[in-house]
């Protein structure tokens, strides 16, 4: 707000001097300034966007986070589907077809018994033929696993740990999105601060150009001095366009992270003051090891690998199930049984696998050892990240103290020059130059604050905080 006020004051002074040089009245100048100011305010009055609002919008609408949420939902559905394997499986097989061959069934003599009163039944071989006609069969089987319940339990535990690991990935993505939003927001603040600084210096170069024109007419400077003033003015105007493009690019990037139309216009608020000293690096390292999603996921993967190995070893247990089967046939000329039902125990076992199960179990244990190594590597990487983030934060804090000192010096210099101008002991050009220096110092201070908050965001990301 203070820089905007200074910019407006400088523009007003330049306008007054230009008007007096042209012979225009102050009343007409006032009307023109009022009209242009109102139009500019209507044109550039987008809604204000705070950092908290930007983070909330990103958490609700960011594309990467939506994808991570869907991945977690998919893992939860896989776990729910796997739980049904503990229940009975039902299978129905029905066949309706046309017989293409003439099937036959032969009953040998005496196959149904030999009796004293009648002799062998049948007395001779009897052949029964089934004509070519439509026929059908129906078979219903129900199988309830019993001995594999332990193996299924281990597999479900591994899948549940996998779901937890997926949720940690989702949390990691959420923290990354929040960190990206912070960085993009600070980038807009930094670019806007730089734009304000360059715009504040524009009146100084415009006044220099005006004085060069006047002095050239008075033959007190060379034509090359005027050309140099022209070049400097064009350079500043080009810089304003370049920085304005940076503001637009940073704003579009932030809109994309928030999951909304990149053309949405908004204005950001200035970042807050620097927070007090943080906890010691040792405390933050402990927080990181307890909070970081990647560390939690690495530990979950160790447990998951253990359950996978135990489930693989459980395959040595024979598959014993409670079985029910019902079979019926239709239109087979009563040659085959029309209804047949059985209830009993089913056993499936592979006594010789040529060492396949043993090798697969060994591979699972190797995977568990790899997961343990991954935990150690992840923890070391986290500790290195926390240490580097702490050092970077302290460095930005020192740079900010230097920029604060420069800003206070520039502000005091402006105050002194203003007093000299009031006493007519200094030229208006000196005032413009001093105001430009203050605007530049303000911009550098704001950039230093932004750099501090970026480093603060890096530290939050390193310790696993929002």
Whether residue 210 is found in the same domain as residue 269: yes
Beta bridge partners of 347: 320
Whether residue 8 is found in the same domain as residue 83: no
270 falls within a domain: yes
Whether residue 443 is found in the same domain as residue 408: yes
Structure tokens that stand for 213 in this block: 């024109």
Q: How do beta strands 103-107 and 126-130 pair?
A: antiparallel
Give the integer Cα–Cα distance in Å for 338 and 95.
Answer: 14
330 falls within a domain: no
State how many domains the chain has: 2
pLDDT of residue 9: 45
pLDDT of residue 344: 93
Angstrom distances, CA of residue 154 to CA of 165, 259, 305, 322, 350: 17, 40, 11, 21, 20
Structure tokens that stand for 176 in this block: 């990354």
DSSP 306-338: HHHHHHHHGGGS-EEEEEEEEEEEESSTT-S-S
Of 291, 50, 67, 277, nearest to 175 by C-alpha is 291
Beta bridge partners of 323: 143, 344
First to last CA, the chain: 29
Neighbours of 358 (CB within 10 A): 13
Q: Is 346 exposed, middle or buried (0-12, 13-18, 19+ CB in 10 A)?
A: middle
Whether residue 10 is found in the same domain as residue 79: no
120 falls within a domain: no
Give the integer Cα–Cα distance in Å for 362 and 364.
Answer: 5
Please check whether residue 115 is in contact with residue 279, taking contact to mean a CB–CB distance below 8 angstroms. Answer: no
Structure tokens that stand for 137 in this block: 């069969």
Tokens 């040659």 sit on residue = 335
Q: Which helix (H) or strand (E) holds 341?
A: strand 339-348
Q: Which helix (H) or strand (E) holds 266?
A: none
pLDDT of residue 333: 66
Whether residue 161 is found in the same domain as residue 35: no
Whether residue 202 is found in the same domain as residue 274: yes
pLDDT of residue 124: 83
Give the integer Cα–Cα distance in Å for 460 and 166.
Answer: 22
Structure tokens that stand for 459 in this block: 């530290």
Structure tokens that stand for 401 in this block: 């103290």
300 falls within a domain: yes
Query: Cα 141 to the chain's mean position, in Å?
Result: 48
Structure tokens that stand for 274 in this block: 């620097």
Beta bridge partners of 92: 140
Whether residue 295 is found in the same domain as residue 407: yes
Whether residue 293 is found in the same domain as residue 356: yes
State the CATH number of the domain containing residue 267: 1.20.1600.10
402 falls within a domain: yes
Give the integer Cα–Cα distance in Å for 344 and 326.
Answer: 12
Q: What is the mean pLDDT of each run of 10 residues along the chain (466 residues)?
A: 44 44 42 42 69 90 91 93 93 90 79 79 80 87 93 93 93 90 86 78 73 70 72 81 88 90 86 65 87 92 94 92 91 74 91 90 94 93 90 84 81 70 57 68 74 82 82
134 falls within a domain: no
Please check whether residue 421 is in contact with residue 430, taking contact to mean a CB–CB distance below 8 angstroms. Answer: yes
Domain that holds residue 35: 1-45
* Cis-peptide, bond into residue 122, ω within 30° of zero: yes
99 falls within a domain: no
Q: How many CA atoms lie within 13 A of 44 on its CB side?
A: 5
288 falls within a domain: yes
Whether residue 237 is found in the same domain as residue 361: yes
201's torsion region: left (phi>0), alpha (psi -120 to 50) or beta?
Answer: alpha
Q: Is 386 exposed, middle or buried (0-12, 13-18, 19+ CB in 10 A)?
A: buried
pLDDT of residue 44: 57
Whether residue 195 is found in the same domain as residue 247: yes
Q: Which helix (H) or strand (E) holds 12?
A: helix 2-22
Whether residue 153 is found in the same domain as residue 22: no
Whether residue 253 is found in the same domain as residue 202: yes
**What one-character DSSP code corresponds to residue 366?**
H
Please check whether residue 108 is in contact with residue 284, taking contact to mean a CB–CB distance below 8 angstroms. Answer: no
């Amino acid at each position: 707000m203070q820089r905007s006020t200074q910019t407006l004051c400088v523009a007003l002074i330049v306008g007054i001097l230009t008007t007096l040089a042209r012979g225009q009245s102050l009343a007409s100048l006032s009307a023109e300034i009022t009209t242009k100011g109102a139009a500019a305010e209507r044109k550039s009055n987008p809604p204000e966007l705070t950092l908290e609002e930007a983070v909330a919008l990103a958490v609700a609408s960011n594309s990467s986070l939506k994808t991570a949420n869907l991945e977690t939902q998919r893992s939860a559905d896989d776990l729910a589907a796997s739980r049904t394997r503990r229940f009975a499986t039902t299978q129905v097989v029905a066949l309706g077809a046309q017989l293409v061959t003439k099937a036959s069934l032969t009953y040998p003599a005496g196959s149904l018994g030999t009796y004293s009163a009648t002799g062998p039944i049948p007395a001779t071989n009897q052949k029964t033929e089934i004509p070519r006609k439509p026929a059908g069969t129906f078979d219903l089987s129900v199988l309830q696993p019993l001995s594999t319940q332990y193996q299924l339990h281990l597999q479900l535990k591994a899948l549940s740990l996998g779901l937890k690991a997926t949720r940690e990935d989702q949390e990691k993505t959420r923290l990354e999105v929040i960190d990206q939003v912070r960085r993009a927001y600070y980038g807009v603040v930094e670019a806007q601060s730089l734009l304000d600084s360059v715009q504040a210096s524009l009146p100084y170069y415009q006044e220099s150009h005006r004085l060069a024109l006047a002095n050239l007419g008075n033959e007190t400077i060379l034509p090359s001095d005027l050309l140099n003033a022209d070049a400097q003015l064009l350079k500043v105007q080009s810089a304003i366009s370049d920085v304005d493009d940076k503001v637009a690019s940073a704003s579009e990037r932030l809109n994309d992270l928030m999951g909304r139309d990149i053309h949405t216009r908004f204005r950001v608020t200035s970042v807050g003051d620097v927070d007090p000293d943080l906890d010691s690096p040792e405390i933050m390292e402990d927080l990181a090891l307890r909070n970081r999603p990647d560390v939690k996921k690495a530990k979950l993967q160790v447990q998951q690998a253990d359950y996978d190995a135990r489930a693989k070893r459980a395959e040595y247990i024979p598959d014993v199930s409670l079985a029910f089967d019902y079979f019926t046939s239709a239109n087979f000329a009563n040659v085959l049984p029309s209804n047949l039902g059985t209830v009993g125990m089913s056993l499936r076992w592979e006594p010789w696998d040529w060492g396949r199960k043993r090798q697969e179990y060994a591979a699972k244990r190797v995977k568990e050892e790899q997961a343990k190594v991954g935990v150690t590597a992840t923890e070391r990487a986290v500790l290195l990240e926390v240490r580097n983030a702490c050092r970077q934060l302290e460095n930005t804090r020192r740079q900010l103290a230097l920029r604060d000192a420069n800003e206070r010096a520039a502000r005091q210099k402006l105050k002194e020059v203003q007093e000299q101008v009031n006493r007519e002991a200094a030229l208006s050009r000196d005032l413009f130059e001093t105001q430009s220096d203050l605007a530049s110092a303000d911009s550098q201070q704001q950039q230093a604050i932004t750099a501090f908050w970026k480093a603060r965001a890096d530290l939050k990301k390193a310790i696993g905080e929002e």
